Structure 1
């Protein structure tokens, strides 16, 4: 069997993967958006709330209690 020196798809280094059709990007059909199209402050509207802190603390202590229950 004689192989070509250059594969049909350089990223596919296996003969089976090189024989497959090239896949399209999942984002190829999406329209391009610009930051000017976003609502004002939408990109930087991340704020830490009391509910976030309570959720992290609850998860931490629940995990700590579970680990201690298995150790002891």
Structure 2
């Protein structure tokens, strides 16, 4: 009956291993959050260039758009 509670659930896993897994998950979560926050933000010039390239590709690929413009 000496092995009960958290010790019974963890088995031979040490507390250091558990803390290292939490720290690793925290660092990985921070890296993912940083990437998500940085993605999708374009400067005004980048947005204008992207929009112009999109319009050019649509004119090239869709003959109906070319005729209507």
| Shorter-normalised TM range | 0.3 to 0.5
What is the TM-score with the length of structure 2 in the denominator?
0.37
- Structure in which a larger fraction of residues adopt helix: 2
Larger radius of gyration: 2
**Please, what TM-score do these two structures have when normalized by structure 1?**
0.35
